[in-house]
Amino acid sequence: MMFGLMAGAVAQRGAAAERIETFKVAFFTQKLQLTTEEAQAFWPLYNEYERKREALRKEMKPSTRPELMSDEELRAHLYKQLDTEAQLVALRREYFEKFMEVLPLRKVAMIPQAEQQFKRKLLEELRNRQKADRPQRDRPNPRSRF
């Protein structure tokens, strides 16, 4: 029974991730005004870039809470974060060069703005869904006496 519930939860997360990815592709394609040919060349590169970027970001997270680390562990973690941030900048530079091989310069320049706008739009959508899913507090509960 527990396995069935866990499998259902994983499937729901997978479906949600798929919807977010579909929304992202549509959002970026519209914001960057990608042609069909540009989109076919851009998306495999961008997806590769995102996978590598996410892997680096995971490295930045401490394996334990900072307050539980010794000073030496904390110092090592801070330096590792700085190194990882430098790797992120290098990765971004590398992929922006690759993007410029398949997209016009002006469209490449719009990618960071599209990323920020997408994050804002996604958070807004999630907030709206949470509000819609929550019961209204202003409405009196007919079953409640108070």
> In this predicted model, what pLDDT tens digit does every residue of 111-121 receive, in sequence order?
999 999 999 99
pLDDT reported for residue 136: 59
pTM tops 0.95: no
> Tell me: the pLDDT tens digits for 46-73?
999 999 999 999 987 877 788 888 999 8
Percent with pLDDT over 90 in the chain? 61
DSSP string, 66-106: GGGS-HHHHHHHHHHHHHHHHHHHHHHHHHHHHHHHHS-HH
Q: What is the CA radius of gyration of the chain?
A: 21
Compute the distance between CA of residue 52 and CA of residue 49 in angstroms, rounded to an integer: 5
Distance CA 102, CA 70 (A): 47
| Residue 17 confidence (pLDDT) | 86
Contact 42, 102 (CB under 8 A): yes
Q: Residue 5 pLDDT more than 50?
A: no
What integer is the mean pLDDT of 116-144? 77
CA atoms within 13 A on the CB side of 114: 19
Is the pLDDT at 146 greater than 70? The verdict is: no
The string of pLDDT tens digits covering residues 23-37 is: 999 999 999 999 999
Q: How many angstroms separate the Cα of 31 from the Cα of each of 18, 26, 28, 83, 118? A: 20, 9, 5, 32, 10
